[in-house]
Structure 1
Amino acid sequence: MSDDDRLTALEARVAALEGRASGSTSPDPTAFWALEGLLERVEDPGAVMITGHVTLPDERVAHWQESAGTGDLLDADWSEHVATLAALAHPARIRLLQETLRGARTAADLTRIDGMGTSGQVYHHLRQLVAAGWLHTTGGGRYEVPATRIVPLLTTLLGARR
């Protein structure tokens, strides 16, 4: 990417951020198509939804959509999800998931990643990710993120960027 292309992209991102901060609406009328569809279907106090379409480098495709009412979420016992979220709360585990999304890998492959640690450490992290449902084994000692977890994982990471 040339310097001019990078500058143009940066200017567009700054303009979008400034528009968000000032509360102005996007000039693109389709920018909130998912939200508009949700608003048409759900009454107050509202709902949240995650949705996505992902094609991974290994050509696996994940389509996912899930929604929940605001009241149901606020009234739920959030502590039930601590272990699932905690499994993501380590740099090595996040890296293992990222590398695994690039294609199912064996523990030996994952151990060879720079800075990943010893094979014992890698197996420890893999066990935690499997126990939390973020990974499963596919046979032959290979690991992959289950299709039902791909979009939720990526939307969790997207939400963390905010």
Structure 2
Amino acid sequence: MTIFLYLVVLPSPTLPHTRYGGRKMIKNIKNERGSVYPLAAAMITVMIAVGGLLIDGGFVLYKYTQLASAVDSAAIGALDSYDEGLWEEEGKIEIDEGRAENQAQYYLNKNMTEASNLIVTVNNANVEVHAEATVPMFFMSLFGYSEIHIESEASSDLS
């Protein structure tokens, strides 16, 4: 003996039917129109962040290269401040610290005016130059990074 169960699905009196059957709420849940908008908004934000990182990162790299070149030229230019009289008389190399700092400042300003905090260290025939600069951010300022600090140092020797 077999017993058959018949399930009868009656429409709910609170949810009206649509023309093609089913409930409107279920139809609206299955409707996926407009679901790409949140994804597109998130992707645009990510693309702006990555693009800003690339552009600002490239600009920081450019400014760092410019600062490194300026510091190198300042270190080499500071070597020109050796005592010529002492060199001609005794054959001894001695760099005047005050002149070396002035020469380094001159060459640094000629090559990069944004550089600051110049430190010149003279040790007999050796000159070490250290400088810093602040690079402004363009796109990354939207994410809280308005500027970045870079620094470079170089040394040169006459011996």
Same fold (TM over 0.5): no
Q: Structure 1 length normalisation: TM-score?
A: 0.24
User: When you count helix as a share of all residues, which structure comes out higher?
Assistant: 1
Q: Structure 2 length normalisation: TM-score?
A: 0.24
Higher relative contact order (CA 8 A, sep 6+): 2
